[in-house]
Amino acid sequence: MVVSGAENVEEEFRSVFFNVPEVAQNAKFCNNKIRTALYCADPLLIRTPPYFLIKGVVIEEFSKLANFYFLVIIALQSWSETTNTNGFPTTSPALTLVVVFASVIKFRQDIERFRADKALNEAACQRLVDGRFVASKWTQVKVGDFLKVDNREMLPADIVLVSAFEPDPAIPVGACYVETKSLDTRGLSSANFKGKLLIERPNPQTNKFTGKVMLQNQPEVVLSINNVLLRGSTVRNTDYVIGIVVNTGRDSKVMQGMRAPPLKHSSVDHWVNYMMIGVMLTQLSLCIISAFIHDGWNASLDVHWYMHEDLNEETPLPGIIFTMLSYYVVLSMFVSVSLYVSIDFNRTLYKTIMEKDPEMWHEESGTRLKVRTMSLIDECGCVSHVFSDKTGTLTQNVMQFRKCSINGVSYGHGNTEIGLARLRRGAGIEQRDRCRDFMLALALCHTVVVEMHGNEKRLSASSPDEAALVAAANFFGIEFINKQHSTVTLKDSFTGQSPTFEVLDVLEFTSARKRMSVVVREPKSGRIRMIIKGADSAIFPLLATGQDDILRATERHLEDHANDGLRTLLLAQKSLDEATYTDWARRYRAALTDLAELEKKEKELPNLIEKTMGELEHGLLLVGSTAIEDKLQDGVPHAIADLGRAGIAVWVLTGDKEETAINIAFACELFDTRTTVLVLNLKSHPTAKEVLAELTKSGKAAAGSASSGGKHALVIDGEVISLVMADKKLQLAMLELTQNCQSVVACRCAPSQKAQLVSLVKVNVKGAITLAIGDGANDVAMIQAAHIGVGISGQEGMQAANSADFSFAQFRFLLPLLLQHGRNHYRRMSTLTIYIFYKNIAMCLAMYWYIFSTAGTPQRVYLEGGIQFYNVLYTLVPIVIYSLYDKDVSDELSIKLPQLYHLGVRKVYMNLSVVLRWLFEALAESLIVFYLIVPSIMLPAGTTEITIFDKKGTTGETGSLMYLGDVLFASVLITITSKLCMRSFSQSRALYGFIALCLALYWGSYFFASTIKATDSLYTWGAQMYTGLWLKFVLNPQYWLFIFMTAVSCLGWQFFLSLWQRTFYPEFRDLAREAEYLGMSTDHLRRWSIPLTMRRLPLRPDAPRSVEPPPSLFARLVACCSCA
Which are the catalytic amino acids?
389
Q: Which residues contact 1121 (CB under 8 A, 6 or more apart)?
A: 64, 65, 66, 272, 273, 276, 277
- Is 920 annotated in a binding site? The answer is no
- Is 227 annotated in a binding site? The answer is no
Distance CA(627)–CA(561), nearest Å, equals 6
Distance CA(164)–CA(1049), nearest Å, equals 83
DSSP state letter for 202: P
In contact, 860 and 960? CB cutoff 8 Å: no
- Is 728 annotated in a binding site? The answer is no
CA angle (415, 421, 426) in 5-degree steps: 130
The letter for the amino acid at 371 is V
Task: Give 733-790 as a DSSP string.
Answer: HHHHHHTT-SEEEEES--HHHHHHHHHHHHHHBTT--EEEEE-SGGGHHHHHHSSEEE
- Is 907 annotated in a binding site? The answer is no
Task: Give 983-1039 as a DSSP string.
Answer: H--S--HHHHHHHHHHHHHHHHHHHHHHHS---SSTTTTT-GGGTTTHHHHHTSHHH
Distance CA(841)–CA(839), nearest Å, equals 6
Distance CA(1121)–CA(56), nearest Å, equals 17
In contact, 576 and 530? CB cutoff 8 Å: yes
- Sign, Cα dihedral of 35, 38, 43, 47: positive
Q: Indicate the SS3 state at residue 509.
A: coil
Cα–Cα distances (Å) from 26 to 31, 145, 197, 569, in that order, read 10, 10, 11, 47
- Is 683 annotated in a binding site? The answer is no
Distance CA(474)–CA(489), nearest Å, equals 12
Distance CA(1044)–CA(1049), nearest Å, equals 9
Distance CA(625)–CA(660), nearest Å, equals 14
- Is 1056 annotated in a binding site? The answer is no
Distance CA(166)–CA(164), nearest Å, equals 6
- Is 533 annotated in a binding site? The answer is yes
CA gyration radius, the chain: 36
- Is 975 annotated in a binding site? The answer is no
132 CB-contact burial (10 Å; exposed 0-12 / middle 13-18 / buried 19+): exposed
- Is 412 annotated in a binding site? The answer is no
- Is 828 annotated in a binding site? The answer is no
- Is 700 annotated in a binding site? The answer is no
- Is 269 annotated in a binding site? The answer is no
CA angle (500, 503, 507) in 5-degree steps: 150
Beta strand 649-653 with 385-389 is parallel
Task: Give 287-340 as a DSSP string.
Answer: HHHHHHHHHHHHHTTTT-GGGGTTTTS--SS-HHHHHHHHHHHHTGGGS-TTHH
154 CB-contact burial (10 Å; exposed 0-12 / middle 13-18 / buried 19+): middle
Q: Indicate the SS3 state at residue 402.
A: strand
- Is 778 annotated in a binding site? The answer is yes
The letter for the amino acid at 71 is L
In contact, 499 and 510? CB cutoff 8 Å: no
* Binding-site residues from annotation: 389-391, 466, 509, 533, 567, 654-656, 748, 754, 775, 778-779
* Binding-site residues from annotation for ATP: 389-391, 466, 509, 533, 567, 654-656, 748, 754, 778-779
* Binding-site residues from annotation for Mg(2+): 389, 391, 775, 779
